[in-house]
């Protein structure tokens, strides 16, 4: 498997995932970006589908989530996920949200040790943020609507407002997402992207009356606009649509599974990552 710059491959019990060297070197978090490999799902969801509501059998999804969390090193009981409505709402969560799906948001942030944050994607970008000065993390889902609305900027501003995070100190990992090579968009996307002064750098005409959008590049530019130094941003660069052997892709396949970007703060007291001190939501079948 190709190893993107600033990222590393790991494999645990036959389940491969990527980590970001910037985040790993901090020693403050456990995190990872999954692939489609290492699970029990079948058909178009083969094999590590982590998304509910896509048509896969729920027992398969729950087993896959258990395997993925175990490989990355987080406790499934303390996981929180966002509904992901292609908006720009970021929710602050804590241990009381363990096991929940947060409605109406595309990003989660926390300074609690007892939970992990999960974003599920199949072409959109999973973005993980860490404040190493005031330990706090965020996980954000960004597609073209998120770019148009400035979701990356909202994430930086949200962490500043909630945790006192300095943008200059943040470390950010942009995980596997559809690349400019495969992300053809129409004028409705172009028109909403023009608000950014650098839009011509990330949207190129393709000769078919449409345009190719560099999603990961646009997110990186928004982060630098918000004050994050370029050297603090690691972009995976792997295209989900180009690699059916590694990734699910909604643009490529339509009916398909979902990967995850997962992050949790390490507990200095030695508690397992993402392990809540209170029971997780008993209504959640996770």
DSSP string for residues in 37-71: -SS---GGGTTT---TTSSS-HHHHHHHHHHHHHH
Which DSSP letter does residue 254 get?
A: S
pLDDT tens, position by position, 60-111: 999 999 999 999 999 999 999 999 999 999 999 999 999 999 999 999 999 9
Task: Kindly state whether residue 94 falls inside one of the protein's structural domains.
Answer: yes
Task: Kindly state whether residue 276 falls inside one of the protein's structural domains.
Answer: no
DSSP string for residues in 60-118: HHHHHHHHHHHHHT--GGGEEEE---SS--EEE--GGGTT-EETT-SEEEE--SS-EEE
- Per-residue pLDDT, 200: 93
Task: Kindly state whether residue 273 falls inside one of the protein's structural domains.
Answer: no
- Per-residue pLDDT, 132: 98
Task: Kindly state whether residue 184 falls inside one of the protein's structural domains.
Answer: no
- Per-residue pLDDT, 162: 98
Task: Kindly state whether residue 127 falls inside one of the protein's structural domains.
Answer: yes
Residues of the chain with pLDDT under 50: 282-286
Task: Kindly state whether residue 261 falls inside one of the protein's structural domains.
Answer: yes
Site of tokens 């190493």: 132
d(CA 130, CA 265): 9
Non-local CB neighbours of 270 within 8 Å, separated by 6+ positions: none
d(CA 73, CA 32): 9
Q: What angle, 0 to 180 degrees and rounded to 10, lies between the N-to-C axes of helices 215-225 and 151-163?
A: 40
- Per-residue pLDDT, 285: 40
pLDDT tens, position by position, 22-53: 999 999 999 999 999 999 999 999 999 999 99
Q: Please, what is the average pLDDT of the chain?
A: 94
Give the domain range for residue 44. Answer: 7-178+232-265
Structure tokens at 264: 């949790």
Count of domains for the chain: 1
CATH number at residue 111: 3.60.140.10
- Per-residue pLDDT, 172: 98
Task: Kindly state whether residue 98 falls inside one of the protein's structural domains.
Answer: yes
């Amino acid at each position: 498997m190709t190893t993107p710059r600033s990222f590393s491959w790991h494999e645990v019990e036959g389940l491969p995932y990527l980590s970001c060297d910037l985040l790993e070197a901090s020693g403050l978090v456990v995190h990872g970006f999954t692939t489609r490999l290492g699970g029990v799902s079948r058909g178009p969801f083969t094999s590590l589908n982590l998304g509910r509501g896509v048509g896969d059998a729920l027992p398969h999804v729950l087993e896959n989530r258990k395997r993925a969390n175990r490989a990355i090193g987080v406790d499934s009981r303390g996981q929180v996920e966002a509904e992901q409505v292609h908006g720009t709402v970021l929710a602050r969560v804590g241990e009381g949200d363990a096991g929940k799906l947060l409605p109406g948001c595309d990003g989660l942030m926390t300074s609690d040790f007892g939970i992990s944050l999960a974003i599920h994607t199949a072409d959109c970008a999973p973005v993980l943020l860490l404040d190493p000065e005031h330990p706090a993390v965020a996980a954000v889902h960004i597609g073209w609507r998120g770019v148009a609305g400035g979701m990356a900027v909202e994430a930086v501003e949200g962490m500043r407002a909630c945790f006192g995070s300095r943008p200059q100190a943040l470390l950010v990992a942009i995980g596997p997402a559809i690349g400019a090579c495969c992300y053809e968009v129409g004028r409705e996307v172009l028109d909403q992207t023009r608000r950014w002064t650098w839009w011509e750098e990330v949207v190129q005409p393709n000769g078919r009356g449409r345009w190719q959008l560099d999603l990961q590049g646009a997110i990186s530019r928004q982060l630098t606009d918000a004050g994050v130094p370029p050297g603090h941003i690691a972009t995976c660069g792997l295209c989900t649509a180009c690699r059916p052997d590694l990734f699910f892709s909604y643009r490529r396949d339509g009916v398909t599974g979902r990967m995850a970007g997962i992050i949790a703060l390490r507990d200095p007291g030695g508690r397992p990552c993402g392990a809540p001190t209170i029971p997780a939501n008993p209504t959640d079948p996770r």
